Structure 1
Amino acid sequence: MKAGSKLLGAVTALTLAMCVVVSGAGVAFFGSTVAAQAAVVSVIEVRGNQRVDSETIRGNITIRPGVNFNNSDIDESVKRLFATGLFSDVTIDRRGNRLIVTVDENLIINQVVFNGNKKIKDKQLEALVQSKPLGPYSETTVEYDAEAIKEAYDRIGRSEATVSTQVVNLSGGRVNVAFEINEGGRTKIATINFVGNKYYSNGRLADVIATKRSGFLSFLSRKDVYDPDKLQADEELLRRFYYNRGFADFRIISTSADLDPESNDYVITITLDEGERYSFGDIEVESTVAGIDAERVKRHLASRKGAVYSAEKVEESIISISEAAAADGYPFAQVTPRGNRDFVNRTISVTYLIDQGQRAYVERIEIRGNTRTADYVIRREFDISEGDAFNQVLIRRAKKRLEALGYFQSVNITTQPGSEPDRVVIVVDVRDQATGEFSIGAGYSTGSSGATAELGISERNFLGRGQFIKVAVGGGENTRTYTFSFTEPYFLGYRLAAGFDVAKTEDTSQNGYDIETLGVTFRVAAPITDRVRTVLAYNYSQEEYNPEAGASFSAPIQDAIDNSPWIKSSISSSIIYDTIDDKRLPREGIFARMTGEFAGLGGDAQFVKVTAKGSYYRPLSDYGDIIGLVSVGGGYVASTSGNLRVFDQLFIGGETIRGFESQGIGPRDTNGDALGGTTYFNATAEVGFPIPVLPRDFGLRGAVFADAATLYGNDLNLGGAVVNGLDMQWRASVGTSLIWSSPFGPFRLDFGFPVAKESFDETQVFRFGTAGRF
């Protein structure tokens, strides 16, 4: 028992001793921790700095003499000093009542130079790199800069470019940084292959995407540059193309771009699955919102039963329903389409569900990435602003508008939560692109006009303000033209495109007299719907006629010469309906224009004139890319006081009915001078097709056509002169055309052969000019 007591006492004593030791150690440990977390120093000493002032370093740390600090303050101070970019190493130690801050200064860049670059200018490269003169030198940053330069050359089709760096040490801790660039050869796209397509040919799909195969004029358009981002955008273009033509199951299986190192050419292969083609089945509207009548909403639908299924038509229907609901006082109404496929009949029935959406408001619209385009140019394409009800449909519409401007390489709109649960931040990310264009126009007439050419420079986004400016100079053997145009697309903050055109023309091609015309037009265009717009204009012109010595003319022309200069002051109004899918090469849609003009607001001209034209395009073969065109037009002019002046009458010719000279048909005096008419009608039927023996990348197409036209009537003081062609007499021609979609714009060569004409008409087999016929 005593032995056990002794043992118990020994254990107890040992335990107490250990507790004392542990307790003492704990006091020591916790005491040091508290001291580390709540230290105070009286002096901050800076070491290692040569160029950076000590006070600057002290000002960039959070620790102050006489103020408690802890380890977090030390960590934050180290981070702040590194963030200045001035130091390669920073340490902070406490020694008694002194804080020691030791730094290793970065070298300072004296100069950044680029050697070997020709395709990308120094200023462009300077904007790419982060290494700047008078900034800190960082080896890591220089490596990133070299990679950024390499990527810039990749984007212009020079994947072989190499970038190396040289650093030259100077006195005083300074260095020069040189980027040595070997631009290499231009990387081209040899072939673009499509695999799996049955409904559309390779050539038709090649027209859809923005990436093009390399050709002899590719250096002008730069569309043959391989870019992964651009190829991804091409995939989206293909999806839209198929989805809007009935292929709701379309998908892209794979896309590959293989570079041949020997030829330095890419081979791009896009494998796709078209799926079946669908038409719209039953179209219904259902509404859970008490105040919205589903039957009444149906009139706003763009999708129709039996038509080829189109995702775009569904989108238009959603927008129309949402706008109608908002107009009725339901801005938060949400429209959701529900499709039901009938695989047997290959139809898709669509039901538009209208529900009360979540109440949310736009807190702000944040614009990012626009280095050139002003913020307000982007904001004005939105139908909503800060504080308005958030509507996803209007966001999608704004995106389409921004893409249609042609100012940006890419447009991406996303949303983020706002400061409150019912607030939304709209984030718009854009990427600016070049918007200036140099254009060349040319024409040739076998008649008196001869060859003509026009050089123009235009800018669609002048100074980033969205304004359009164009300056053009043209002429030929007998003509000179000078034009200047300016358009402000948002006049006075409204969606009104206001502008003016100034033009001067000198024409010496007429028989026995010259014409000099100076004119100015002020115009305002306003959209009525997405497809309909109207244009109101004021037109002023002065025409001066200078006869050659000894020349004689018929009474109407002599009267115009005697009353020279002739001033016309008029107003005109046009209404335009446009559903054309592509202005450069229309394949589908309608373009119609009707214009009325009243002259008599001062000046010498006194008349009322009405002209109209409508063109309808439709694919005749999707796979063969064969396009049909039917066009009709007409015009009428009448004097409001006395007789018309000869040059105020209507004139048509080879521009309207090919196979004839300009002003080649209609009333004509015995001297052969065209006198014009009061009424005309014309019609055209044309079939366009790709030329099978040539690659589609050349941009060449052929066409066959048939034209018909008549010009007749008279409101002139003929003075007893004999005039032919006052009665309605139809002319007709047939022919063939060669159309070239060049980097300078579309051109066409027409070979027209009259099959019905009058003996006094002036014919012309060959005509060369621009392809636009709107």
Structure 2
Amino acid sequence: MGFVLTPSFASAQSYQFNSVRVEGNQRIQSDTIVSYAALERGKPVSAGQLNDAYQRILDSGVFETVELVPSGNSLIIKVTEFPTINQINFEGNRRIKDDKLAELIESAPRRVFRAAQAERDAETIAAAYGAQGRLASRVTPRIIRRSDNRVDLVFEIAEGDTIEVERVSFVGNKVYSDRRLRRVLETKQAGLLRTFINKDTLIEDRLQFDRQVLRDFYLSRGYVDFRVNSTNAEVTRERDAVYLVVDVTEGQQFEFGNISVTSEIAEADADLYRSALKVKPGVTYSPLIVERSIEMLETLATRQGIDFLRVEPRVTRNDRDLTLDVEFAMVRGPRVFVERIDIEGNTTTLDRVIRQKFRSVEGDPFNPREIRDAAERIRALGFFAKSDVDVREGSSESQVIVDVNVEEQPTGSLSLGGAYSVNDGFGVNVGLTENNFLGRGQRLSFSIATAQESEEYVLGFTEPHLLGRDLKFDLDLGVSETDSSYAEYDTSRAFFRPALTFNVTEDTTLEVRYTWADSEMIRRDDVSFVGGTYPVAGPVIRSEINQGSKTSSSLGFTYSYDSRLTGLDPNIGFTMQVGADYAGLGGDSEYLRTTAKLVAQRKILNEEVTLRATLETGSLHWMGDDYSRSIDRFVLTPSVMRGFEPGGIGPRDTAPRADGGSYDDFLGGNVYAVARFDAEFPLGLPEELGLRGGLFYDVGNLWGLQDVDTPASGGFVVGRNGSFRHVVGFSVLWTTAFGPLRFNFSNAVKKEDFDKEQSFDLTLQARF
């Protein structure tokens, strides 16, 4: 495009025009163009003023060329208008759809075409592809001329290949290995399954996030001076991969020194608040522990009716012994109240769903920390693509207004999955879930799980805030059928289970539930042999089958504790679950079932090795007039005790068969106890393979069969008391894009002669 001003005016030359004529304009009115020139008729005009008039017309942005041609007492303004955009097309794009690209650019149909704007739009599109890791993408804007001074704008897109992160390495790290730090980052190295994962591409936003999570990782472990000096991405010559190098400075690890609490408020007893703190001197310093301590102290003040109390952490650094003294100073904050909470952007989600995440309501004292925590809870809902919580001054200086602006996103999901295990074979899982049912924050789900030997259909409903309180209500309805090769009978079961769950303390919860179930053991066809037929199941199982369909109506609870919620050490965790169910509130069965499970985990050797110990036990006390059945008693599966088939250990019926052989039916037991010890560690293989190793040792027993139909047993039941079995093994853990695979190779070093071993176990759970 060229812009011509003729003739070239000498600086001393002047003109006087009595008339101005415009030529070449089609859309823009002549008077409008004359007004751009801003020249007064009949008055002398210098060459400089003509140049200024030319520039003003050009700066209007609607003309491709402009000429000012003096002709006697007349001035002729010749213009060529920029064409208008008839339509915009995108060619060559597959990864980003047309409608998404149209939202990115500023050029639009029926607007004036500007080459500079088209170039900027092309850069914007290329940046969008770069954000997906396609740094080699190229976008070229082209125009196709149409009649009536119109053009079609076409963006020709060469998407290019994704730029994979071939290697992630660190410089300056001494405490934690590259392998451990790579597990922290969101950016991953390209591996064998690079086709199925998107985290091995170089994306700038992800790198910024990685810098922050890396800093959080070190700070939570006491390295207060840690910093990321630089992140350098070196692109290969072929521009198809990068080598990412992260330069860090770790610094020294600090511990908590002297912990004190001071109070500037008369009604707040500093000694009382100090005794409530969990943090002790010698604990590795972490900003998260400080934040939790502040929240706990301010919550305690609120419970005592002390408003506007604020806790200020005052940290004193001791470089000599690498400690940080922390003084929690309780001061009086400004007397500011919450005037109101305004919520915008929620078209589906009800206001109350968002308000439930605030512990403050209109009229309460304003606590900035609580507002920040509420913002995190809103984001954690997963209902919104974006959520912003801001505070502004209200109708007076002593009041504030909390503004919540959200942008909703789809909350329903359809999941299709496949599963395989050596016990149940191949299976298909289909799930339909809506996490924000009718905008009420409720969860509605329906799942179908089918395998070669089992089927299950479950309808679930969850109300996280029953009656507006911090009380979760669950309701599950389901039916299931099994046709297991490990049992000589089929089963059918239907159940109805409502439950209430609430927090007892910060790290403990209590679930109270009612369960109604109808279950039945179904007989299989007899087996033929040369001399006749015999039942496929032994006498004990047949007597249990003869009981027919039985219902149970039980009331139970589960008490859970998780130290990771408020623990002071991120490398140590302890969980506990204790539960009991009493059946006898109607139905055909009466029993008391109790279970307990304890899990302790610790990471050692700079978090390279994970040690885990699990203790699991259960007891069934049958109180009904009839006998319990195998499906009522405990049966150990490989997920509880490795090295054996499902039902591979415990009491068994070995009554003789009509063909001269004997039955071998597992019957389950009334009591079990299992201890599992695991160690997981790197194998020294490339990190991108996702392979780790493990060693395990399991010891356990299943016994107790006092409520069996004694005449039916005929004295052929073995393993009533049993013994503790011991199993050792090696595991290969493979983290894939499909899900975690675990290969267990085991050997029972101590067992009973009638046990059924299983030396190999593979479990794969996949979602697509």
| TM-score, scaled relative to structure 1 | 0.78
Confirm whether residue 422 of structure 1 aligns to residue 422 of structure 2.
Answer: no
| Other structure's SS at 1:226 match | coil
TM-aligned CA deviation for residue 204 of structure 1: 0.8
Question: Could you say which residue in structure 2 is the equivalent of 1:362?
Answer: 338
Whether contact under 8 Å (1:653, 1:665) holds in the other structure is no
* Cα distance change on mapping 1:377 and 1:51 into 2, 3 Å: farther
Helix, strand or coil at the partner of 2:218:
helix
SS of residue matched to 1:282:
strand
Aligned residue among 603, 615, 635 for 1:632: 615
1:324 corresponding residue in structure 2 = 300
**Structure 2 counterpart SS, 1:313:** helix
Matching of residue 444 in structure 1 with residue 458 in structure 2: no
1:440–1:456: 8 Å Cα contact kept in structure 2?
yes
Aligned to 1:38: none
Pair 1:276 & 2:276 matched: no
1:702 aligns with 2:693: yes
The one-letter code of the counterpart of 2:709 is: L
Distance 2:160 2:349 in 1: 33
> Who is 1:737 aligned against?
731
**What is the CA–CA distance in structure 2 between the aligned matches of 1:619 and 1:307, rounded to whole Å?**
16
Distance 1:552 1:229, change over 3 A: closer
Change beyond 3 A, Cα 1:155–1:348: same
Change (3 A) 1:635 1:136: farther
Whole-Å separation in 1 of the counterparts to 2:350 and 2:96: 25
SS state at 1:734 partner:
strand
Mapped partners of 1:330, 1:147: distance in 2: 57
> 1:408-557 maps to which residues of 2 (within 5 A)?
415-418=391-394, 420-426=396-402, 438=415, 440=417, 442-445=419-422, 449=423, 451-457=425-431, 461-462=435-436, 467-468=442-443, 472-510=447-485, 511-550=487-526, 551-557=535-541
Partner-residue secondary structure (3-state), 1:231: helix
Aligned residue identity for 2:697: A
Per the alignment, residue 747 of structure 1 pairs with 741
Cα distance in structure 1, aligned partners of 2:349 and 2:110: 30
Identify the residue that residue 677 of structure 2 maps to in structure 1: 685
Distance 1:289 1:369, change over 3 A: same
- Separation in 1, partners of 2:671, 2:128: 59
What is the CA–CA distance in structure 2 between the aligned matches of 1:592 and 1:454, rounded to whole Å? 32
| Equivalent in the alignment of 1:619 | 603
Q: What is the letter of the counterpart of residue 357 of structure 1?
A: G
CA-to-partner distance for each residue in 1:251-271, whole Å, 9 max, x for gaps? 222223333352322222221
Q: Give the distance between the partners of 2:387 and 2:231, measured in 1 at CA.
A: 22
Q: Deviations over 1:167-189 (max 9, x none)?
A: 45656786644433221111111
Contact 1:608 1:637 in 2 (8 A): yes
2-structure distance, mates of 1:771, 1:348: 46
Indicate the RMSD between aligned Cα atoms, in angstroms: 3.7
Distance 2:275 2:636 in 1: 42
Q: Note if contact 1:332-1:389 (Cα within 8 Å) is conserved in structure 2.
A: yes
Give SS of 1:761's match: coil
Matched, 1:237 2:213: yes
Count of aligned residue pairs for this structure pair: 673
1:286 CA displacement:
0.4
The offset of 1:408, in angstroms, is 6.9
Mapped to 1, the partners of 2:647 and 2:318 lie a distance apart of 57
Cα pair 1:112 1:176 within 8 Å, conserved: yes
Counterpart-to-counterpart distance in 1, 2:384 and 2:133: 20
SS class of match (1:648): coil
Moved more, 552-561 or 353-362: 552-561
How far residue 706 of structure 1 moved from its aligned partner, in angstroms, is 0.7
Q: Which residue of 1 aligns with 2:574?
A: 590
Distance 1:457 1:647, change over 3 A: closer
Instruction: After superposition, give the CA deviation of every residue in 1:605-631 in whole Å (9 maximum; x if it has no partner).
Output: 3222111101111012116x1111111
Alignment match, 1:566: 550
Give the secondary-structure state (helix, strand or coil) at the position aligned to 1:630.
strand
Segments of structure 2 that go 5 or more residues without pairing to the other structure are 1-24, 33-59, 64-79, 527-534, 655-662
Query: What is the aligned partner in structure 2 of residue 763 from structure 1?
Result: 757
Q: Distance in 1 between matches of 2:674 and 2:740?
A: 23
The answer as to whether partners of 2:489 and 2:537 remain within 8 angstroms in 1 is no
Contact 2:336–2:399 (CA under 8 A) maintained in structure 1: yes
Contact 1:452 1:474 in 2 (8 A): no
Residues 156/171 of structure 1: CA separation in 2 closer, same or farther (3 Å cut): same
SS at match of 1:214: coil
Q: Does residue 259 of structure 1 match 2:235?
A: yes
Q: Give the Å deviation of 1:437.
A: 7.7
* Distance in 2 (alpha carbons) for counterparts of 1:138 and 1:371: 38
Q: Which residue of 1 aligns with 2:637?
A: 653
Structure 1: how far apart are the matches of 2:82 and 2:544? Answer: 83
1:54-107 CA distance string (max 9 Å, x none): xxx9xxxxxxxxxxxxxxxxxxxxxxxxxxxx9959xxxxxxxxxxxxxx9997
In the alignment, structure 1 residue 249 sits paired with structure 2 residue 233:
no
Higher helix share: 1
- Tell me: CA distance 1:514–1:316, structure 2 relative to 1, closer, same or farther (3 Å): same
Show structure 1 runs of 5+ residues with no match: 1-47, 58-85, 90-103
How far apart are the structure 2 equivalents of 1:469 and 1:348? 49
Cα distance change, pair 281–381 in 1 and its aligned pair in 2 (3 A)? same
> Is 1:296 matched with 2:238?
no
Q: CA deviation at 1:368?
A: 8.0
C-alpha contact 1:652 1:662 (8 A) present in aligned 2: yes
> Which residue of structure 2 lines up, in the alignment, with residue 390 of structure 1?
366
Aligned to 1:200: 176
Structure 2 contact 260–326 (Cα < 8 Å) conserved: yes
* Matched residue SS, 2:196: helix
| Counterpart-to-counterpart distance in 2, 1:591 and 1:312 | 20
* Residue of structure 2 aligned with 1:227, choices 191, 199, 203: 203
Letter in 2 for 1:342: N
Q: Which of 188, 191, 195 is 1:215 aligned to?
A: 191
Find the aligned partners of 2:638 and 2:558 in 1 and give their Cα distance. Answer: 24
Alignment of 1:15-414 (within 5 A): 111-130=87-106, 142-168=118-144, 176-363=152-339, 365=341, 378-402=354-378, 404-405=380-381
1:552 CA displacement:
4.8
List per-residue Cα deviations over 1:642-669 (Å, max 9, x = no partner): 2323321112132212111111111111
- Contact 1:285-1:294 within 8 A present in 2 as well: yes
Residue 647 of structure 2 is matched in structure 1 by 663
1:87 to 1:249, Cα distance in 2 relative to 1, 3 A: closer
Asked if the contact 1:373–1:465 (Cα under 8 Å) also holds between the matched residues in 2, the reply is yes
2 CA distance for matches of 1:376 and 1:172? 56
The one-letter code of the counterpart of 1:566 is K
Report the 3-state secondary structure (helix = DSSP H, G, I; strand = E; otherwise coil) of the residue aligned with 2:710. Answer: coil
Cα 1:581/1:394, change in 2 over 3 Å: closer
The 3 A distance-change label for structure 1 pair 192 and 350 is same
1:504 to 1:191, Cα distance in 2 relative to 1, 3 A: same
Q: Which moved more, 1:752-761 or 1:337-346?
A: 337-346
> How far off is 1:365 after superposition?
5.0
CA contact (8 A) 1:454 1:472 kept: no
Tell me the distance in 1 between the aligned counterparts of 2:351 and 2:153.
36
The letter of the residue matching 1:508 is D
